Amino acid sequence: MSQLKVTQVRSGIGSKPKHRGTLRSLGLGRVGKSHLLPDTPDVRGQIARIPHLVSFEEVD
- Quickly state the pLDDT bin for 47 (edges 50, 70, 90): very high
Mean pLDDT of the 33-59 span: 96
pLDDT > 70: what percent of the chain? Answer: 100
CATH topology of domain 3-59: Ribosomal Protein L30; Chain: A, (3.30.1390)
pTM for the whole structure: 0.89
pLDDT of res. 28: 96
Q: What's the mean per-residue pLDDT of the chain?
A: 96
Mean pLDDT of the 15-41 span: 96
Separation between Cα atoms, residue 46 and residue 20, nearest integer Å: 11
